[in-house]
Structure 1
Amino acid sequence: MNVPSCILCSNQDVQLFYKDTSEHYSSDYFQCQSCRLIFAPSKDRPDRNEEFARYETHENDPEDEGYRNFLSQLFDPLNKRLETESMGLDFGSGPGPTLSLMFEEAGHTMRIYDSFYDDDPSVLEETYDFITATEVVEHLFHPGKELERLWNCLRPGGYLGIMTKIAEDDKDFFADWHYRLDLTHVTFYTEDTFRWLADHWNAHLSFPADRVIIFQKPNR
């Protein structure tokens, strides 16, 4: 078996974590023994057309109060931390940008980026007081590169807010976990993974809600 290096930290100590051989779904999943990331190898990732078809089924409506309540899990704790009139980026804003509107309604200035729906790389050349990534990081094929790029876009003292389901470091849990059955979900983060990132960035880390992770960049 060809064992890949870790797609987050590049460590070579990676082991097979779980193998799904069910009738309608087949994939290998590996786990890094350093940062504890769990991920599918390149052979088991969807192609761009498969990704887009899946995203087109999402109904992200800014007028949907239920969707706004869902996003409030990140919006509320992050907005409390922000200075007035901060500059933010919503990374992976999707087909119906909503979180960016919520922050604009709170008095902040927002940019959006989405590789399928708003692919303007120039916004990734600016710097921000805060960056959000809701239900995005589990889709990343190259999280080490992508997250490092976002971190470099943050100003000193800025915040990176993430929403994603946190994986348990347990094969029985993973086998029955509905979150991994979405074919576009290929990268799974344990709490230890986020702690590794905090150490890597020398960042302050908090878990204000069940699926919410907030990093704060050092002031210097």
Structure 2
Amino acid sequence: MQHSFGHSVAVRKATAWLSLFLFWPFFYEIGDYLPVGSPIWVDFLVCFASLFEEVRMHTCPLCQHDQILHYFTDKRREYLQCARCELVFVNPEQRLDAKTEKSHYDLHENNPLDLGYRRFLSRITDPLLERIAPQSNGLDFGCGPGPTLSLMLEEHGHVMSLYDLYYHPDRSVLRREYDFMTATEVIEHLYEPNVVWQQWLNLVKPRGWIGLMTKMVIDREAFANWHYKNDPTHVIFFSQATFQYLAERDKLELEFIGKDVILLRKTQ
């Protein structure tokens, strides 16, 4: 049975702390009135267990593991972490609906003529261009309303296709195979990263490249003051450990370029 995260963790945790505070002086006497096996005792023990920050009612949206830990809470949202792949993700009940999400994306102004934006994207295009063959076929996944990275790669002779859920929704491009694909500032927005990740693997030919840009989780202390988590459209956060898990599981070669560029290559 599915329980709401808000009730199971936030409310239950508060209840457990309040119960401990109120009943601690009478802890040893409670057993005289409430048998240890009673439903109230059982519920209290469940509440108390939640204080140790293990949340079992969710599965990881990336690797589907069922051991999920409470990671961080701020005034906006609750964040969980997978004990296996170390993905940090927002409680699914706190995601934006599609209409609100798109309204945020509509505010983006990515101008292909903006030299500053091109410099930003060159952090991924430069290392990618060093690795792909001339006149390769590529897909820019999640290109947004003002595709720029694809233009930069086309200027170097590569043939690019575009896909974006809202702005370039032609799904026919997802039925082909490519020499490489890119997703810049995309992965942190995914509601179903397990599905999309498998889709990316299927889109790329053997020995093909997947080029990603995303800011990565370092630790809880840094996360607490991290501006990146404050974007309401950012719902999952990878760390190097998460990418290392995927690379090992899916037999990918993995390179980290700087702080936010990740290159993966299919080995077969």
- Provide the residue aligned with 2:225 in structure 1: 176
1:152-191 residue pairs with structure 2 within 5 A?
152-168=202-218, 170-191=219-240
| 2: CA distance, partners of 1:201 / 1:217 | 8
Which of 11, 15, 18 is the matching residue for 2:69? 15
Greater relative contact order structure (CA < 8 Å, 6+ sep): 1
Q: Say which of 196, 200, 204 aligns to 2:253.
A: 204
CA distance in 2, matches of 1:214, 1:158: 10
Query: What SS does the aligned partner of 2:172 have?
Result: helix
Residue identity opposite 2:182 in structure 1? T
Q: Tell me which of 131, 142, 146 is aligned to 2:181.
A: 131
Distance 1:209 1:124 in 2: 29
Identical counterparts, % of pairs: 44
Distance 1:4 1:40 in 2: 11
> Which segments of 5 or more consecutive residues in structure 1 lack a partner in the other structure?
none
1:54 correspondence with 2:104: yes
**Partner SS for 2:211:** strand
Letter aligned with residue 197 of structure 1 = L
Letter matched to residue 19 of structure 1: T
Could you list the per-position Cα deviations for residues 76-100 of structure 1 after superposition, in whole angstroms to 9, with x for gaps in the alignment?
A: 0001101000000000000100000
Deviation at 1:53, TM superposition (A): 1.0
Normalized per residue, which structure has more helix?
Answer: 2
Cα distance in 2 for residues equivalent to 1:66 and 1:212:
17
Deviation string 1:29-85 (CA, Å, 9 cap, x unpaired) is 110010000001221111111111111111100010100000000000001101000
Tell me the C-alpha RMSD between the 2 structures.
Answer: 0.9
Q: Does 1:35 align with 2:85?
A: yes
Q: Offset at 1:134? A: 0.1
3-state SS, counterpart of residue 113 of structure 2: coil
What is the TM-score of this pair, normalised by structure 2?
0.78
Between the aligned partners of 2:258 and 2:250, the Cα distance in structure 1 is 21
Q: Which amino acid aligns with 2:65?
A: N
> Which stretch has the larger CA shift, 63-72 or 2-11?
2-11
Q: Deviations over 1:151-174 (max 9, x none)?
A: 111001000000000111x22211
Question: 1:86 maps to which residue?
Answer: 136
Q: Does 1:151 align with 2:205?
A: no
CA contact (8 A) 1:124 1:150 kept: no
Specify the alignment match of 1:193 in structure 2: 242
Q: Is the 8 A contact 1:90 1:110 kept in 2?
A: yes
Superposed displacement of residue 208, structure 1: 1.6
Map Cα deviations across residues 85-135 of structure 1 (whole Å, 9 max, x no partner): 000000000010000001111000000000010001111110000000000
Shift of 1:28: 1.1
* Secondary structure of 1:213's aligned partner: strand
Length-normalised TM-score, structure 1: 0.95
Q: Distance in 2 between matches of 1:120 and 1:200?
A: 30
Q: How many residues align?
A: 214
Unaligned 5+ segments in structure 2 are 1-7, 9-54
